[in-house]
Amino acid sequence: MNEAEPLLALAEQAARMAGGLLLERASEGVERGVASKTSPTDLVSEADVASERAIRELLARERPDDGFLGEEGDSTDAAPGGLTWVVDPLDGTVNFLYGIPQWSVSVAVRDGEGTIAGAVFDPNRDEMFSATRAGPPLLKTASGEQELQGPGHHASAGWAAEATVSAGEDLEHAMVATGFSYEAEVREAQGPVLARLLGQVRDIRRLGSAALDLVWTAAGRFDAYFERSMHEWDVAAGILVCERAGLKVLELPELEHLPWGIVVGRPRLAERLHELVAGR
């Protein structure tokens, strides 16, 4: 067995377990404990903390020498020879709190060369997106699994690949996903970029979970994706899935009031999109 496969199985187990816990909390209604982090609009709930705690405990039992980098708690270093797990226990907290079924759990594991395996679980649709560094990107559902092939090959139950309206590499007909910062001054700087892009593409979607935006692009549900103001736990698993689906990932350089970010899509489309959104 490839050494990445048991790591992927553990990532999927952790993401699915945490997703189940979050679904239970969502069914109980509004979260009682909510606090702000970097800004009044950047929220963390008891659900975020409980999900990360459960994942930490599982990984500590199964991989006690590994390190941990999560969104809600302190990071821990790996022992010599150990790996590091990069976890977003609830990506899309605001959606979760508002009862919008667009949030996910992202679990990745990395070594000194990058991400080895990663999984993004969508509990609301029971969809598991995952990949290893050397294996195919997969969408696993209750009805089976299928390989993700990026825009032009729509992966979803009830859809045929040939039914897609994907633009492929065509910017003018591209459905583009994006996201915005929680910080007001960054959002103000993002406004002109968005206005510049609106007339150049088919349409733009902002749904609220960066991890899902990435894997949905790998699944052909979006043609491209770009966003700034993210952290490693937001994108570690999703970037791996996109790369294994043959998509190009380009970095957006940090500018005044515009933090680091990424652009993802088929090579030519990603490059054209990058030209439009890389500046102010």
Mean pLDDT for 262-279 is: 96
CA distance readout (Å), 24 to 18, 29, 72, 175, 184? 10, 9, 20, 33, 33
Residue 98 lies in a domain: yes
Residue 186 shares a structural domain with residue 244: yes
Residue 19 shares a structural domain with residue 91: yes
Residue 158 lies in a domain: no
Residue 156 lies in a domain: no
Residue 20 shares a structural domain with residue 125: yes
Residue 187 shares a structural domain with residue 110: no
Residue 113 shares a structural domain with residue 199: no
What is the structure's pLDDT at 158?
46
Q: Are 264 and 242 in contact (CB under 8 A)?
A: yes
Closest listed residue to residue 18, CA positions, set 49, 61, 60, 63: 49
As a whole number of angstroms, the distance between CA 86 and CA 75 comes to 9
pLDDT tens-place string over residues 175-191:
999 999 989 999 999 99
Range scoring the smallest mean pLDDT among 54-58, 119-123, 149-153, 255-259:
149-153
Residue 11 shares a structural domain with residue 140: yes
* Burial annotation 159-181 (CB, 10 A radius, 16+ → b, else e): eeeeebebbbbbbeebbbbbbbb
pLDDT band at 32 (very low <50, low <70, confident <90, very high): low
Residue 160 lies in a domain: no
Looking at the 3D structure of the chain, how many domains does it have?
2
Closest listed residue to residue 14, CA positions, set 108, 102, 101: 108
Residue 131 shares a structural domain with residue 240: no
pLDDT band at 41 (very low <50, low <70, confident <90, very high): very low
pLDDT tens-place string over residues 9-25:
999 999 999 999 999 99
Residue 14 shares a structural domain with residue 109: yes
Q: CATH number, domain at 186? A: 3.40.190.80
Residue 29 lies in a domain: yes
Closest listed residue to residue 176, CA positions, set 263, 64, 61: 263
Q: Does the pLDDT value for residue 142 go beyond 80? A: yes
What is the structure's pLDDT at 161?
44
Residue 30 shares a structural domain with residue 121: yes
Q: List the domain range (segments joined by +) for residue 265.
A: 171-277
pLDDT tens-place string over residues 188-247:
999 999 999 999 999 999 999 999 999 999 999 999 999 999 999 999 999 999 999 999
What is the structure's pLDDT at 31?
57
Mean pLDDT of the chain: 90
Q: Are 238 and 95 in contact (CB under 8 A)?
A: no
Q: Does the pLDDT value for residue 162 go beyond 60? A: no
Residue 152 lies in a domain: no
CA distance readout (Å), 228 to 113, 180, 261? 23, 7, 4
Mean pLDDT for 120-129 is: 98
Which residue, of 98, 114, 147, is where some domain finishes?
147
As a whole number of angstroms, the distance between CA 262 and CA 254 comes to 11
Which residue, of 114, 147, 180, is where some domain finishes?
147
pLDDT band at 270 (very low <50, low <70, confident <90, very high): very high
Q: Does the pLDDT value for residue 159 go beyond 70? A: no
Range scoring the smallest mean pLDDT among 43-57, 80-94, 184-198, 257-271:
43-57
Residue 189 shares a structural domain with residue 128: no
pLDDT band at 72 (very low <50, low <70, confident <90, very high): confident
Q: Are 253 and 228 in contact (CB under 8 A)?
A: no
Residue 67 lies in a domain: yes
Residue 31 shares a structural domain with residue 136: yes
As a whole number of angstroms, the distance between CA 106 and CA 22 comes to 13
What is the maximum span of the chain, computed from C-alpha positions, in angstroms? 52
pLDDT band at 151 (very low <50, low <70, confident <90, very high): confident
Residue 190 shares a structural domain with residue 76: no
Q: Does the pLDDT value for residue 166 go beyond 70? A: no
Q: Which two tokens stand for residue 195?
A: 């206005």
Residue 230 lies in a domain: yes
Q: CATH number, domain at 66? A: 3.30.540.10
